[in-house]
A and B are shown apart, each in its own frame.
Chain A
């Protein structure tokens, strides 16, 4: 686990130095709502709840979320 954390950090720091610069005024497309990682959080919440009641996998989106009985 510790190894994986280090790997992610290393990859992140590498990305920092290697990537081409995007100027502050060039971020109009990135600011569009459909480019957001969670463009519709309410929808995402309901869908994740549905999927986790039918599938074994969960996680990756955040921390401290409420679980459910889902029986």
Chain B
């Protein structure tokens, strides 16, 4: 019985290795994507935002922490847009109607993208919902976040402020 428990703990310790934040320090892969249904604008290209700090967020309507994050992200976006912050939300709903329903409840002003073919999640090695990548003005992923709660909220604010200070 003891052996089994030990094996189990080892398995759990290994499982924990998954939660390491992916991508920090790497150059953000360039990508183009179409807008989420009903969203204005031409097809999106990440390289058009070079020189800005980009908060790239992967979200879905069914994910409760995403719900908690939206008002926070929208506030941060409207406050710091002038300083050079861009917030981009990549929707991962399987049913587009559910994303629309969610947005009616939690309206945001930042741009939203679709990722029907899982190109972006694969490119960014998304490991959890929500996942966020904070990209500096030079296009490097400086911070990555898995999940969202009150602690991450304060952390994100500080990290975004720090990156906005840096000159391109």
Contacts and interface: CB of A to CB of B under 8 A. Distances in A.
Q: Do chains A and B touch in the complex (CB under 8 A)?
A: yes
A54 interface: no
Contact of A25 (B11, B58, B98): B58
Interface stretch (A28-36, A41-49, A63-71): A28-36
Interface in B26-84: 58, 60-63
A26 to B, nearest CB: 7
5 contacts: A5-B1, A9-B4, A24-B129, A25-B126, A28-B61
Given A31-B62, A32-B62, A24 B126 contact: yes
Contact of B95 (A13, A16, A25, A28): A28
B127 interface: yes
10 A-B pairs with the lowest CB-CB distances in the bound complex, closest first: A25-B92, A31-B62, A28-B62, A28-B94, A24-B128, A24-B129, A25-B121, A28-B60, A25-B129, A9-B4
Interface of A: 2, 5-6, 9, 13, 16, 23-29, 31-32
B interface, size bucket: 20 to 34
Contacts of A31: 62-63
Contact of B121 (A6, A23, A27, A28): A23
A6 B1 CA distance: 8
B94 A29 contact: yes
Nearest to B8: A9
